[in-house]
Chains A and B, each alone.
Chain A
Amino acid sequence: MIPLNPAQAVHTAAERTITEAAPQLDWWLLAPLLTVFAAGVLAVLFEAFLPQGRRRGPQIGLAVLALLTTFVLLVLQVGSVGQEGTTVAAGALAVDRTVLFFQGTITVLALVSLVLITERGDGRDAFAAQAATVPGSEEERAHIMAGSQHTEVYPLVLFAVLGMLMFPASNDFLTMFVALEVMSLPLYLMCGLARRRRLFSQEAAVKYFLLGAFASAFFLFGIAMVYGYAGSVNFAAVREAVAAGGAPIFADGGNGEPLLLMGVGLVAIGLLFKVGAVPFHNWKPDVYQGAPTPITALMASCTLVAAFGALLRVFFVPFGGSADVWEPMLWTVAVLTMVVAAVVAVTQRDIKRLLAYSSVVHAGFILTAVVAGSTDGLAGAMFYLGAYGFTTLGAFAVVTLVRTKDGAQELNEIDRWAGLGRRHPALAGALALFLLAFAGIPLTSGFIGKFAVFEAALSAGAAPLVVVGVLSSAVTAFFYVRIIVVMFFRDPGHEAPTVVRAGVLTGGVITLGVAATLVLGVFPGLVLDNLVPSQDSGPEPTAVMVSQVTADSGGE
């Protein structure tokens, strides 16, 4: 298939310059990532050297400080990067305003998730005393009695966030793969740490790990194919190769297209698995349900943002020139995702599973913006992700508070939430607002997000996709509203749920969710107008994404 012409191989090899000097690193632009990384390493040292009982405080302080510092650095960088953007670390990472938006959003959402993770309103957090013990064993009971806790969660969160920050910033496929794994491995672990229903939680973790490994394998094979096609894993080089119809080795005969098709398809599978698009979504309900709810919140917000950031980057930059190749594929996946997930969600009885399917449907909506392939689509997707992140965090925060009668365990069966609206109108009202935002009711952020992505898809000529999206929205509205009906209009049976009094932290998360949902719904211009530059204020973000890498391609 690939004509291995020795002369040509020599020719390409000669072009490569191998330097022995260390690459130039722009420490300032790398500072946010390094901060999180350093904090993660330091947190591991804390685990090693601090006595068991004294770890929690320093760990929380370190994690919060690291994330805050990262956020401040990212904000400062917005000014110093300028409109044009650049690449750092020998072209491995891109820094532009789109990347900074994704990173900033991830940092803030991670910080909010961290608040949920640290919450222990009833004296205990959401994590197992000692995950290594066999559930139900004597040993486990001993650890519970001793008050053991897993402060390893904090370094794990920091490493996961590091991966998430790298994922949408990656500028070559290998960096992206490393970021994917750095992000995923800690998440696999944290999924298995639930305090209650531990077997369930461990099962979810194993499933997530197995399927994640499966998806990573697809991704990695895809990278190999792309390398075969383009002769490089660098996004700029791949983009050039796509424009030229293949790497120089295809110059005198030979057809590289099968390699490209396989590469696009396999890489896409890896990314679509991470965003949870149908039919790569099966892990989501099981994992969301089994994982400790604060970790679910982290995954539902931060991971989704990071994964879509990477997806947008891959399809806009290296594969941007071959849109006609992948558009039908993404069309199909988007339609499948919007239809199947919405339909399946109708019969869900468990709030966490329902929110998982809801997350799948929303991924479908955002995919329509990717299909649009335009700056408007990019801006719509960015707005959607930010808005959805806050709303979903708020929703999961509410879930952590609704408990069974003895207050020990979360009560996730929706039917038993009857009467919640009467006893706890503020809590139920907040959840109702989040659900209405998911459904896309005007004056909530969800409406603007949906409008933005559908408008982008429509003006890109994807009208059928928008029709499917609107119909799917109608179906999703059904099950969101049903929860509201159950909470407010159904008589509570004798097994009415208990609500743990919201601690300051969880209450703060819910309030923040409500505020973000309303502010982004009523004054979306604050964010939306700054995502797309007006005609004269600068180059379009998609153009920046492309131009910065092409400018960089020679100077590796």
Chain B
Amino acid sequence: MEVTPHTYLAAETGAATLADGAVLSNAWLLIALPLAGAAVLLLGGRRTDAWGHWLGAALPVASFAWALAVLVDLLGRAPDARTVSVPVYEWFAVGGFTAGVDLLIDPLSITFVLLITFVGSLIHLYSVGYMAEDAGRRRFFAYLNLFVAAMLVLVLADNFVLLFLGWEGVGLASYLLIGFWQYKPSAATAAKKAFLINRVGDIGLLVAIMIMFSVLGAVSFSDVFAAVPAAGDGVLLAIGLLLLLGACGKSAQLPLQAWLLDAMEGPTPVSALIHAATMVTAGVYLIVRAGPIFEGAPVAQTAVTVVGAATMLAGGIIASAKDDIKKSLAGSTMSQIGMMVLAAGLGPVGYVAAIAHLVTHGFFKAGLFLGAGSVMHAMNDGVDMRRYGALRTKMPITFATFGLGYLAIIGVPFLSGWWTKESIISAAFGIGGTEGLVLGTAVIAGAALTAFYMSRMMFMTFFGAKRWEEGVHPHESPTSMTAPMVVLAIGSVALGGFLMLGDRFAAFLTPATGAHPHHFDVAHAFTAPYGIAALVVLVLGVAAAWAMYLRRPVAATAPEGNLVTVAAARELYGNEINEGLLMRPGQVLTKALVVIEDKVIDGAVNGLGTSVRDSSSGLGRTQTGFARSYALTMLFGAVIVAATLVVRF
């Protein structure tokens, strides 16, 4: 692959300007507002039960408003002056060492901030209705606010250490929210699983940061990237692969994908916000942000594309076989993020496509999840699509908004998904050679899978015959839930065109990513072979789903299926692989370590503890209480002083 010299803004030009003006220099408010919300709700206790959820919903909105003001401020500047560093807090400076917190505001980070706060605000509003009956609603909003704050720390950090803080923060919030209904054993287990698998990725990120600090001598983005050209290939490769490991954990990419499907045990708004729109895309953010490192390590870049392609296909296959609507959507999320990771691995040509797809995906996937939540609400929390059917007349708003999200994700021309997916396909083919051909074909295959599983979901849920369980009386959801769905549906329709037409987004993002100004050619998308192929597989996918799930009646219980569908339904044996490769050897190792721990380490530690205590009481005996023996001790001290003055080691 061709390595293009990146033009990372601040890294080489040192052009990060210091924040000026009230809007930018107070950018820390973006984080502080939701954080304050979490603090008030958690510390305020039951006193805040009555109004806590409104406070929790209002603060992300305030954050979004501030982010808009920041965006306006940025747009008022010359493109290469849009990278602003905001010093927030210097903890202490001792000798030559300084510890502090700085934020970095540039087109990339503000894109994420807007996505997080906007989708976050909508989902907070939706949750007011969705969690109305839940006794723990205040706690729920506190955790959601905590998540928003942590996610903003992640994307606004101007160094890897602060990024890691946000990284751990979102992991914590995710853990708390997956296990929100902790009385359900499945939820508690899922939370633990997510936590453990994420640890693996986090260790990767942590070790990467340690290598940066010890070898490159820096952890701030600009210093690290400035040190990249002089760094050895091996170092960059190691850092790149470790960062990829971190990204895999957070973004549920192979081989650390297994937690995401189980994470659907959390409340649906959580799945929409954290496990679809924002947190799981942090890996893509990390790869794009650390672009200069990956560009210096082509092997790591190839690894990124391989991981992305494999996850994209695996996720699509899993999504095609799941009957649980949320798990099917989760498989779809894996797949779509795989597509973004693939694009990010292409280097500068792919950055804009990756981030643009990330943004539009944030809208339509959040909309789809909220729609799924609305359906579950109507079906007494049933998630089995085999017991849905014919809901389009009972839930017209949900049907319409879900339908628009569906059309967007499968890539119907001129809807949001089409623009960004076409960008990825053309970027993949654009790098040329066998690699380009393989990756481009893979993306088209992924698009075919998307068309199939999403049509399957659509048909099983809203069309066909009623297969409802007894006592289920579907009804449309309240306005507080449908209104956010409508807003997200509008975004699913129009956002892609808005971003890609006239290359608006590419021009905006270029100074931050060093991305190639990539021109989106509408005519080309319909005439080029890959454009036509994408449209053909779209039709084929929908047709296959129509033949299997609409023309034929859907069985209320899953058929036995063949080897492929069983494998897919069992998540391609991901859990079994984890168990066989990691869990069982891990358990054996643990047992062995326990023995070593008990016999060897504990022995040593206890021995140390005992010897400290023994020497403590031994030395304590010199504390006799007699002034004469104290005076003797002092004399003994005088001898020591004299000896050390004379001998002088």
* Chain A residues engaging chain B, CB cutoff 8 angstroms: 206-207, 210-211, 214-215, 218, 261, 264-266, 268-269, 272-273, 278-280, 282-283, 285-286, 324-326, 328-329, 331-333, 336, 340, 343-348, 376, 380, 448, 451-452, 455-456, 459, 475, 522, 524-525, 528-529
Contacts and interface: CB of A to CB of B under 8 A. Distances in A.
A61 B645 CA distance: 49
Given A211-B634, A268-B641, 11 more contacts: A211-B630, A214-B634, A279-B640, A282-B630, A325-B648, A333-B640, A343-B616, A344-B623, A346-B616, A525-B90, A525-B93
Interface string B77-94: 000000000000011111
Pairs A-B, 10 closest by C-beta atoms:
A279-B637, A282-B630, A329-B644, A347-B616, A346-B616, A524-B92, A207-B627, A265-B641, A455-B95, A332-B644
A256 to B, nearest CB: 14
B578 interface: no
Nearest to A208: B627
Interface residues of B, number: 36
Interface in B39-90: 90
A459 B620 CA distance: 34
Nearest to A341: B619
Contacts of B633: 279-280, 282
Contacts, number: 111
Chain B CB within 10 Å, residue with most, of A282, A348, A452: A282
25 contacts: A210-B627, A211-B631, A214-B634, A261-B642, A261-B646, A264-B645, A265-B638, A265-B642, A278-B637, A279-B633, A282-B633, A282-B634, A286-B625, A325-B648, A326-B645, A328-B645, A328-B647, A328-B648, A340-B619, A343-B612, A344-B620, A345-B616, A346-B612, A451-B94, A529-B93
A266 to B, nearest CB: 8
Contacts of A283: 630
Contacts of B91: 522, 524-525
Contact of A456 (B95, B617, B619, B640): B95
Contacts of A332: 640, 644
Given A265-B638, A524-B92, A207 B630 contact: yes
A282 B623 contact: yes
Chain B CB within 10 Å, residue with most, of A279, A333, A344: A279
Contacts of B645: 261, 264-265, 325-326, 328-329
B615 interface: yes
Contacts of B97: 455
A280 B640 CA distance: 11
Interface of B: 90-97, 612-613, 615-617, 619-620, 622-623, 625, 627, 629-631, 633-634, 636-638, 640-642, 644-649
A346 B649 CA distance: 31
A81 to B, nearest CB: 25
Contact of B631 (A210, A286, A451): A210
B623 A285 contact: yes
Contacts of B646: 261
B636 to A, nearest CB: 6
A269 B641 contact: yes
A475 B612 contact: yes
A509 B250 CA distance: 47
A328 B93 contact: no
Contacts of B92: 448, 451, 524-525, 528
A215 B634 CA distance: 8
B93 A528 contact: yes
A365 to B, nearest CB: 14
A529 B95 CA distance: 10
Contact of A211 (B617, B625, B627, B641): B627
A355 to B, nearest CB: 15
Contacts of A459: 95-96
Q: Is the interface of B mostly helix, strand, loop or mixed?
A: helix
Given A325-B648, A344-B616, A376 B630 contact: no
Contacts of A215: 634
A193 B217 CA distance: 59
Nearest to B638: A269
Given A329-B644, A344-B616, A269 B634 contact: yes
A189 B400 CA distance: 88
A347 B620 contact: yes
B617 A324 contact: no
Nearest to A379: B94
Nearest to B619: A344
Contacts of B94: 376, 380, 448, 451-452, 455-456, 528
Chain A CB within 10 Å, residue with most, of B627, B631, B646: B627
Contacts of A522: 91
Chain A CB within 10 Å, residue with most, of B613, B616, B625, B642: B616
Contacts of A325: 645, 648
Contacts of A333: 640-641
Contacts of B649: 328
B244 to A, nearest CB: 31
Nearest to B636: A279
Nearest to B98: A525
A529 B90 CA distance: 11
A91 to B, nearest CB: 28
A392 B617 CA distance: 25
Contacts of B638: 218, 265-266, 269
Contacts of A348: 620
A525 to B, nearest CB: 6
Chain B CB within 10 Å, residue with most, of A211, A214, A273, A347: A347
Nearest to B641: A265
A444 to B, nearest CB: 12
A297 B622 CA distance: 25
A211 B625 CA distance: 12
Nearest to B626: A207
B477 to A, nearest CB: 43
Given A282-B623, A329-B645, A347 B93 contact: no
Nearest to A345: B616
Contact of B634 (A273, A346, A524): A273
B90 A376 contact: no
Nearest to A528: B92
A329 B638 CA distance: 11
Contact of B613 (A264, A326, A347, A525): A347
Nearest to A329: B644
A326 B641 CA distance: 9
A479 to B, nearest CB: 10
A38 to B, nearest CB: 36
Contacts of A345: 616
Contacts of B623: 282, 285-286, 344
A272 B641 CA distance: 11
A216 to B, nearest CB: 12
Contacts of A278: 637
Contacts of B617: 347
A464 B261 CA distance: 51
A388 B623 CA distance: 25
B277 to A, nearest CB: 33
A425 to B, nearest CB: 14
A136 to B, nearest CB: 21
A139 B623 CA distance: 34
Contacts of B95: 376, 455-456, 459
Nearest to A347: B616
B584 to A, nearest CB: 36
Contacts of B620: 344, 347-348
A452 B90 CA distance: 15
Contacts of B641: 265, 268-269, 329, 333
A346 B614 CA distance: 10
Nearest to A283: B630
Contacts of B640: 279, 332-333, 336
A157 to B, nearest CB: 25
B644 to A, nearest CB: 4
A524 B95 CA distance: 14
A456 B95 CA distance: 7
Contacts of A285: 623
